[in-house]
């Protein structure tokens, strides 16, 4: 995913490297899931319980609060003025990230112990997110180190939300709440989404 993100905003021939990174990731996921007896359980898509619901509500508050803090840091109004279509696309992108990093990767790393699984999934997600901004086609003004640090912290929180109920739903809800607050009034995808 890091290779995909690093080269995603470049032109030919670099974009081919990006697609190759995405294909390798997809093949690794497919192979891993094909060998898994219970795919839903390995992704954290089973075991809905009262604790899952409680942590999903907490995740919504954490994600929404994180979105407000992010908007404040950018000098934007604390809440978006409306809700544009791209906000829902952002939520879908975030849901896929959660399924990959908190669902699949953290689930696969659980045999190493939950602290390692949470930290490694958070570090992998931070590396991916930072790579999206590392080599833009134009000036971006994004501090990649700060982005990596905050994405890692958010990833640890999301990982803990995944770990204790055993479900990916709480971090998925947290990520969606963050994206709705941050991108609510954004009409078009930012440069880093589609290049």
Q: What is the pLDDT of residues 5-19, one digit of tens each?
A: 999 888 889 999 999
Share of the chain above pLDDT 90, in %: 80
Three-state SS across 10-48?
CCCCHHHHHHHHHHHHHHHHHHHHHCCCCHHHHCCCCCC
Q: Is 157 left (phi over 0), alpha (psi -120 to 50) or beta?
A: alpha
User: Tell me, what's the pLDDT at 118?
Assistant: 98
pLDDT band at 192 (very low <50, low <70, confident <90, very high): confident
Task: Write down the pTM of the prediction.
Answer: 0.92
Task: State pLDDT tens for residues 60-79.
Answer: 999 999 999 999 999 999 99
Asked if 145 contacts 89 with a C-beta cutoff of 8 angstroms, the reply is: no
Tokens 């849901």 map to which residue? 95
Cα–Cα distance measured from residue 43 to residue 35, given in angstroms and rounded to the nearest whole number? 13
User: Tell me, what's the pLDDT at 46?
Assistant: 85
Mean pLDDT within 177-181: 97
Q: Between 132 and 115, where is the model more confident?
A: 115
Retrieve residue 11's tokens: 């032109």
Task: State pLDDT tens for residues 82-121.
Answer: 999 999 999 999 999 999 999 999 999 999 999 999 999 9
Share of the chain above pLDDT 70, in %: 97
User: Tell me, what's the pLDDT at 99?
Assistant: 95
User: Tell me, what's the pLDDT at 120?
Assistant: 98
First to last CA, the chain: 16
């Amino acid at each position: 995913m890091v290779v995909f993100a690093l080269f995603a905003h470049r032109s030919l021939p670099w974009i081919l490297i990006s697609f190759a990174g995405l294909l390798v990731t997809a093949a690794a996921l497919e192979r891993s899931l094909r060998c898994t007896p219970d795919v839903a359980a390995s992704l954290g898509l089973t075991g809905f319980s009262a604790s899952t619901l409680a942590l999903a509500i907490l995740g919504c508050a954490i994600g929404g609060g994180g979105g407000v803090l992010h908007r404040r840091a950018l000098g934007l109004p604390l809440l978006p003025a409306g809700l544009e279509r791209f906000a829902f696309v952002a939520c879908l992108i975030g849901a896929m990230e959660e399924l990959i990093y908190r669902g699949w990767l953290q689930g696969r790393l659980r045999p190493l112990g939950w602290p390692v699984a949470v930290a490694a999934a958070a570090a992998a997600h931070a590396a991916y997110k930072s790579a999206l901004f590392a080599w833009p086609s134009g000036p971006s003004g994004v501090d990649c180190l700060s982005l990596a640090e905050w994405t890692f912290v958010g990833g640890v929180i999301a990982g803990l939300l995944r770990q204790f109920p055993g479900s990916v739903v709480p971090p998925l809800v947290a990520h969606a709440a963050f994206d709705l607050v941050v991108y609510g009034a954004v009409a078009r995808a930012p440069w880093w989404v589609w290049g």
